[in-house]
Amino acid sequence: MLKKLGVLVTVATVLWATGSALAFPDKPVNYIIPFNAGGESDISARLQQPYFNKITGEDLIIQYQAGAGGAQAWSVLNSQPGDGYTIMGTNLPHIILQPLLQKPGYETADLTNIYMFHFTPDALLVRADSKFETVQQVIDAAKETPGALTVGGTATNTANHIANQIFSNMTGAQMTYIPYTGTGATIPALLGGEVELLWGYTTVAAGQGDKVRMLAVAQDERHPLFPDVPTFKELGIDMVGGAYRGIAVPKSTPEEVRRQLSDIIGKINADPEFIKEMEQAGFAMLNIPYDGMEAFMSERQKIYEEVARQLGSLK
């Protein structure tokens, strides 16, 4: 009797396993955003939502678990069920810098990233009526009176803070970095004249239109939405970076499901309509699938470790 039951269970498991392998996903997938609604992570997830449905026929349910700059959600990711129906947004440099500088309750290696799908390139912004027209003018002014120029950005030890540090390393320009609570709070600070410059992203420029001027973007090539804005590289400053966003799954998720999810996100990323919508909002596309993740992560890890050491020594 017991044996029979055992066989039955095995058969059922095998059937269920193959079944799910064939038709993953066959129910809605929960997509946890470790930040508050309305930010870049949320908007890009909202843009993905309809395409996920178009490709898989299932819904993508977006949930928010904000707290501690994302650490609250990332520290519990591995305790979620690993069946592929729970996925979580991840952000670089956050998931590398937080374990380096604090004890956030997780390690970078704990997060199983399956796809990095876009990034928001760092950008140096000024008000439209600012006297600064080029990056060189900023560098000159900053060198003349070190620390007198104020540049805003989001919080401390973040992508913006790092951008400021790298910029300063490469050009020798010293500016006072003023941290704000979030991207939302930095914009009035720039527009209202509290800070002269702002480390932001291309998304900020896309949202603010002609009220701000972008001096340069930290991308390999110019952003399609801003064909007139030079890259830092063109100006001889080797800066490529920003906030990278991807998707991770709990560690217990089987290899096969990880690949399937990676494929689905890749398909969404290849949809020309999706690309158009993302670029309209100021995002830059990025395609790092599951197989390329290790190389990408170790490359970024090296860069951030270097900067983290400097930020740490700043204390």
CB of 303 vs other proteins, minimal distance in Å? 19
CB burial class (10 A; 0-12, 13-18, 19+) of residue 18? exposed
Positions touching other proteins (CB under 8 A) are 30, 36-39, 42-43, 46-47, 49-50, 59, 61-69, 71-72, 75-76, 101-106, 147-150, 155-157, 161, 176, 178-181, 184-185, 187-189, 191-195, 207-209, 211, 277, 280-281, 311, 315
Residue 131 CB burial class (10 angstroms; 0-12, 13-18, ≥19): exposed
Q: Shortest approach of other proteins to residue 5 CB, angstroms?
A: 23
At residue 193, what is the residue type?
Answer: G
- In the complex, least distance from residue 167 CB atom to other proteins, rounded to whole angstroms: 16
Q: What are the strands, taking DSSP E only, across the chain?
A: 29-33, 60-64, 86-92, 112-127, 150-154, 176-180, 197-201, 212-217, 242-249, 284-288
| Backbone CA torsion sign across 35, 38, 41, 46 | positive
CB of 277 to other proteins, least distance (A): 8
212/314 Cα distance (integer angstroms): 30
84 phi-psi bin (left φ>0, alpha ψ -120 to 50, beta other):
left
Q: Least distance (Å) from other proteins to the CB of residue 206?
A: 9
CB atoms within 10 A of CB 24: 19
Among 65, 92, 93, smallest CA distance to 79 is for 65
The residue among 178 and 303 lying less far from other proteins, judged by its C-beta, is 178
Least spacing, CB of residue 245 vs other proteins, in Å: 15
Q: Are 219 and 231 in contact (CB under 8 A)?
A: yes
Distance CA 156, CA 161 (A): 6
